Structure 1
Amino acid sequence: MTSGTSEVLSLKVMSLSHSPIDSQVSTLSLLPVELIGAKKRHTLYNNEDNYSDIDIGDSMDIVVKERVDEVGLYSLTCQLFFTSNEARLTLKKSYKFAVLSPFNISHRLYNLNEDSIDKKTIFVEVSLENVSHQSITLSSMKLEPINLKKLPELIFELEDVNLRNEHKEPLYIQPRCKYNKIFKFTSHSREYNNLGATSSGEVLEFKLRIGWVSVSYGDGWLDSYKIDLPILCDQNKLNKNKNAIILKAELPSVNNRQEEFKVFLYVTNNLCINRRCVSIRLDFDQLLPIIILGNDRLYLEELKAGETITLELDCQALVSGVYNLNGIYVFDELEDKKVSV
C-alpha cells in the first residue's frame, strides 16, 4: 500500500446464538472504531445511541470510510460491547497495515571551510528515489526546524539552492529515477559571548517534509525523515583543526545500487613535523550502506609536514542515494590511537 490509499472497513454484526435456552436477543451497546498511528489516534466511528436489539440470525452492516495520507504504520481496531442474557460481553478485532512512502530518501552534509568563530555554513544534499511503479509529481519539499526553541542564542538562514534555476512547473519523477535538492544552512550566534554556553555536540534538528501526487493514490505527504545539523563550534575546536591531521572525503553525488564508484580520501598533515607509521582504518559496519572493496586498513609510510595525500577507494552501495562517509579514521600505529579530525 502506498500513501493516499483509501481503506474501507466493512463490519457485519450478527447474533449467532442457536441454543434453545438462549432465547433472548443481543443488545449492541457500543461500537467504537479507532485508527491508531505512530503519532496519534482518533476515532473513525462511534455510535452515540444504543442500537436496537438484534434478533437471532439478524445482521447489521456498517461501513467506515477513512482516507490515510500520512506515511506510517497503523492499527485499525474495532471493539464490540454488547449484552446477551444480561451478561456484558466484548469482542475485539485489529488489523495492522502500513502506508509506505514511494521514495527512498537519503542525505549527506558538506561543511564549508570557514576560518570564522561566529559563522557556520553547511550544504545539505537530499536525494529522493522513486521506488514505486508509476510516475510521481513532487509538489513540495522543504526542511522545517524542530528544536529551535531550545537554542535561543542561535540565528540561522536556510536557503533552497535549487530555486535559483528552477521554474514553477510540476516536477515529475519517473520510476527508479532520482531527484536531488540542495539546501544551504548558515548559522551564527546573536552574541559572540553566547558561544561558550553552547555545547559543541548540540545539533539543530530538522524534519524533511515532502508532498506528492500520484495517479493511483492522489495526494500524500511525509515528515518523519529527520536531519541533524551541527551548530557552531568554539574557538578551541578551530585552533585544534589548524594543528592536526585532517581527513576529508569526496564521493559521487548519486550512487546507484550495485554499481561501482570511487571515493577519494584527502589526508592533510597540518602539523609542523613529519608523521611516520600512520594508517587509514575503515570501520565497515559504520560505513554501511557503502561497501569498501578492499582491506580495512591502509598504511602510509610517511606523512610530511604540510603534505596532502590522495587515496582512491573502490566502493559499492547497498542502497541508492547520497550518504556521508562515517567510519574512516587516521591512526598512529605505534600508539594505536586516532590522530585525525
Structure 2
Amino acid sequence: MNNRIGLMLSARPDMKYSSQILRSPLVLGARMNTGAPVTGSKVSAVRGFRHMLEPKQAWIDLKCRELRLVETATIPGDRLELNHSISVRTPTAVYYNDGAGVLVVDRVEEGRFLVIRPPKMQTEGGSLTLGKGASLNIPDNTLHVDGFLTESDIEYIEACVEADLHNYLLSFVESRADLKQLRDLDPLANVILKVESKRGLRFVAEDFDPVRDRATLLLARGDLFVELDYVHQILGAARDLIARDPNAIAASRLLLSFMREDSMPSCADVFDVGYLLEIGYRQFLLGDEVCTDETTLSSVIGFFSALEKDYFSARKA
C-alpha cells in the first residue's frame, strides 16, 4: 500500500500561497472555491490561480447541485431563495451552518423559495440571519433538485477551456449523467467527484466503474454527515468509498483544532486522521478554515509530514 501522503489545499480566487507552502512535497495542488466572488473575468481568475500554483495542480471546484442562498435572508420574515428549483414533500427540515442549525420548511413557493415555519426564537424576540451564498442541506428522500450545473458553473467551465485548464471538482454528484454534462462542455475534463448524499453513495456502489478511468472519488464528510439517516453511517461510507477507489480523497473539517491559539491538534482530531489512514486514505483535501491563515496551514502541513515519517515506519516495525 502507498505510504505517501498528499494534500490538496483550498483557496479563494484572490488568495496567494507563499513559496514555502508550495515547496512542501506533500502539497499536490489546490482547489479554487468558486462560491467566492472574483474581481474581473472568470478567465483571468482561472489563469491567475493556475499561475500562482505552478508547478502544482490547480483544480476548479464547481458548486453544481449544492443548495445555496441567492440573497441574505433573516428569519422570521424572509423566504429563503435557493440557487436551484426544487420539489420536496413538506413540512421538512433544512439544515444550515454545516448541520449545526435546523429550520422547518412549511412549503416551497415558485419552485425555489422556502417558506420557513416561525422558529421558537420568534417568541423570544430573536432572529436569525443567513448570508448570501450560505450552504443548505435538505436530507429528505423526496427532494428533487432541478438541473445540475449552475450558470456560474458553466461560465467557469468555459473559462477553464479558454485557459487550457481541465481539472474540476463536481459537488453532489449522483449519476453518470452529471459527469456527462461536464464532459459535453469540456471533453478533456479530469474530474474529482464529491460524494455528499445518499444518492451519491448509491452511484458509487452501482455505477462508478464505467467512469473510474478519468475520475477520482472524494469523501465530502461535512455534507454527507448531515445527509445520512444516522450519524454512525459516515464510518461505513468512508470505508465504501476507499474500497471502490484506492485513490479516493478524504475531506471536510480536518484538523480544525489547529485553529486554536496554541496551534495544537486535539486528541480527537489526531484519531480522526488516524482512522482515515487505517482504512486506506492517503490523500486529503484541507478546508478553507485551515488554509486561510498561513501559520495554521504550515502547522497542519508539518503535522502530516511528521505523521508520514513516523506513522508508517512504526507500522513496519
Which category of TM-score, normalised to the shorter sequence, fits these structures?
A: under 0.3
Larger Rg: 1
TM-score, normalised to structure 1's length? 0.25
TM-score, normalised to structure 2's length? 0.26
Higher relative contact order (CA 8 A, sep 6+): 2
Q: Which has a greater percent of helix?
A: 2
Q: Which has a greater percent of strand?
A: 1
